[in-house]
Structure 1
Amino acid sequence: MALFKHKFFKPFKNWFTLILVSFIVWMLFFDDNSWILHHELNTDIEALENEKEYYKKEIEKDNKAIKKLRTEDGLEKFAREEYYMKRDNEEIYIIEYEDSLKAKKNE
């Protein structure tokens, strides 16, 4: 019992202080609405909002690409570049340089 006579434990002799400290510890760590849980949920919300912004930007880029493909020239350009399509009276030669091959591998 000599251990509890130390000056560190003096405030804990008061019942109100003891109850207040136990309530604070309970609310911070053990309760369903604890600070730890709120911190995790706020982190999740922030990550989801960042993801939402990313997808909004991607939607804008896709809408621009769709507008380009709706024109006859844009559709022809896409077919020639991506699928190497050609007209009946044309020949296609594909020339690839080393630096262009490295760029394709990184994508």
Structure 2
Amino acid sequence: MKKIKNLIANYPFLKFLANRYVLVLIPFIIWMLFFDNYSYLEHRVLDKEIEGIEDNIQYYKSEIKKDSVNIKYLKNDDRVEKYAREKYYMKRENEDIYIIEFEDEKKAATEKTNSNN
């Protein structure tokens, strides 16, 4: 007991740590920060997931806006035909289609496919 009193006399902050409330509070805080189901570490993981999901929501909202603009654009039959010809290389009967690809476009397309893999 004398040794403890000497330590407390030499180091005044130990008097604060020797308080019974502090002795209970420190393990409680450690438990809540690291070991509990609702710990700080678990909250960090969940917050990162929430941020990722919110980013996905924003992305899909912007895609929905783009698609709705395209749908409004394609309400006209002439525009649907033009879109089908340009995008899917469709043609009318007795019609020939010639696709002209330039070297620059070819290189850009191959680089894009290589970077996706």
TM-score above 0.5: yes
Q: Report the counterpart of residue 63 of structure 1 in structure 2.
A: 68
Question: In structure 2, what is the Cα distance between the partners aligned to 1:56 and 1:21?
Answer: 46
- Closer, same or farther in 2 for the Cα pair 1:8/1:36, shift >3 Å? farther
Identity of aligned residues (%): 48
- Structure 1 vs Structure 2 CA RMSD: 2.6
Contiguous gaps of at least 5 residues in structure 1: none
Deviations 1:56-82 (A, max 9, x none): 111111112222222112111112112
Q: Is the aligned partner of 1:101 residue 2:106?
A: yes
- Closer, same or farther in 2 for the Cα pair 1:8/1:81, shift >3 Å? farther
1:82 pairs with one of 61, 81, 87: 87
Corresponding residue SS for 1:74? helix
Q: Report the counterpart of residue 91 of structure 1 in structure 2.
A: 96
Taking structure 1 as the reference length, the TM-score comes to 0.80
Corresponding residue SS for 2:58? helix
Greater relative contact order (Cα < 8 A, sep 6+): 1
Contiguous gaps of at least 5 residues in structure 2: none
Structure 1 residue 9: Cα displacement: 7.6
Structure 1 residue 27: Cα displacement: 1.2
Taking structure 2 as the reference length, the TM-score comes to 0.74
Q: Give the aligned length.
A: 107
Corresponding residue SS for 2:91? coil
Question: In structure 2, what is the Cα distance between the partners aligned to 1:103 and 1:61?
Answer: 24
Q: Report the counterpart of residue 54 of structure 2 in structure 1.
A: 49
